[in-house]
Amino acid sequence: KMNQTTETLIKSKFLVLLGHLFLVIVLYYTREDNIYAGVKKDARPSDSEFENAEASMLSCLSFMVGFLLFELAVLFIGMTINFDSVSIASVFFHGVGVLALIWFYLLNWNYLVIWYIFAFGSFIPFAVELASVLFTRLIFKLRY
């Protein structure tokens, strides 16, 4: 049986991952505001500068969705459910990422800022989760 701390961490991790995924989906549909914040004022959606900015933002959002879905899958499988330190790190980094994405959305930050948010709020927790999965599979040879 899991202790109370582990149960709370798993619930928190699930909620923060869903919140992060929800915000990324919202940003997908409202990305033009952030793109216009980073390109010339008279840019049109057909301009190459706008298209490059949109491609950059879509790439980042796609990576975020992929990493979040991986982490949700690992959570549902339960491979790292007993690593409280991994869950704490995940909740912290995703929580900061969620707050940054809220500010990014509300304040219409430049589209390039999303890459910094991605690095801190998505890539680091993904790397920690991936390392813990590999640690579990390779070192302990656990089967799930």
| pLDDT tens per residue across all 144 residues of the chain | 678 988 999 999 999 999 999 999 999 999 999 998 988 877 777 788 889 999 999 999 999 999 999 999 999 998 888 889 999 999 999 999 999 999 999 999 999 999 999 999 999 999 999 999 998 888 777 555
- Say what the pTM is: 0.90
Cβ neighbours, 10 Å, residue 144: 9
Question: How much is the CA Rg of the chain, to the nearest whole Å?
Answer: 17
The pLDDT score that the predictor gives to residue 142 is 53
- Any idea where the domains of the chain sit in the sequence? 4-139
Handedness of CA 68, 124, 96, 12 (dihedral sign): positive
Cα(143)–Cα(21) distance, rounded to whole angstroms? 28
Maximal C-alpha separation, the chain: 61
Cα(116)–Cα(121) distance, rounded to whole angstroms? 8
Q: Terminal CA-to-CA distance of the chain, rounded, Å?
A: 18
